[in-house]
Amino acid sequence: DQQVKQNSPSLSVQEGRISILNCDYTNSMFDYFLWYKKYPAEGPTFLISISSIKDKNEDGRFTVFLNKSAKHLSLHIVPSQPGDSAVYFCAASGSGGGADGLTFGKGTHLIIQP
C-alpha cells in the first residue's frame, strides 16, 4: 500500500515554462515533506522541504505547496532549465522523531525540452 504517490511517471515541459510535479499522500501522521532530485547513477540530492505548519516554501526557482486537507503537495519550477531534467522524488516523514526513515514516491521523470 503506497503511502506516497506520484501518479505521473514522466512529464515533458518546454524550457522557460513552469514545471509542476505533483505528489499525494495517505498517511495523516506525515508532517514533513521533501523533494529530491536524482540524476542517473547518482544518489538523490535534496531540493526543498516543507513542514506541515506551512503551506508554501520558496527557494529560488523552486516552490513547494502543501495542501494538508487534500493531502497533496506540488513542486513548481519556474523557469524550467535543461539542467532540471532528472527524476524527482517526493518524500514524507512521520511523527516517529527526527530519525525515522523517509517514505518515498516512485518518482516523476521530468524532461525539459529546448
Partner 1 sequence: GAGVSQSPSNKVTEKGKDVELRCDPISGHTALYWYRQSLGQGLEFLIYFQGNSAPDKSGLPSDRFSAERTGGSVSTLTIQRTQQEDSAVYLCASSPMAVAGWRETQYFGPGTRLLVL
Give CA separation, 111 vs 9, 80, 83, 97, in Å.
Answer: 11, 10, 9, 35
The count of residues interacting with partner 1 (CB under 8 A) is: 28
Q: How far is the CB of 74 from partner 1 (least distance, A)?
A: 17
Give CA separation, 101 vs 34, 84, 104, in Å.
Answer: 12, 26, 9
- Binding flag, residue 1, partner 1 (CB under 8 A): no
Looking at the Cβ atoms of 44 and 63, the one nearer to partner 1 is: 44
3-state SS assignment for residue 19: strand
- Site residues (CB under 8 A) for partner 1, limited to 2-61: 4, 6, 31-32, 34, 36, 41-46, 49, 51
Residue type, 2: Q
Residues lying near partner 1 in the complex (CB under 8 A): 4, 6, 31-32, 34, 36, 41-46, 49, 51, 89, 91, 93, 97-107
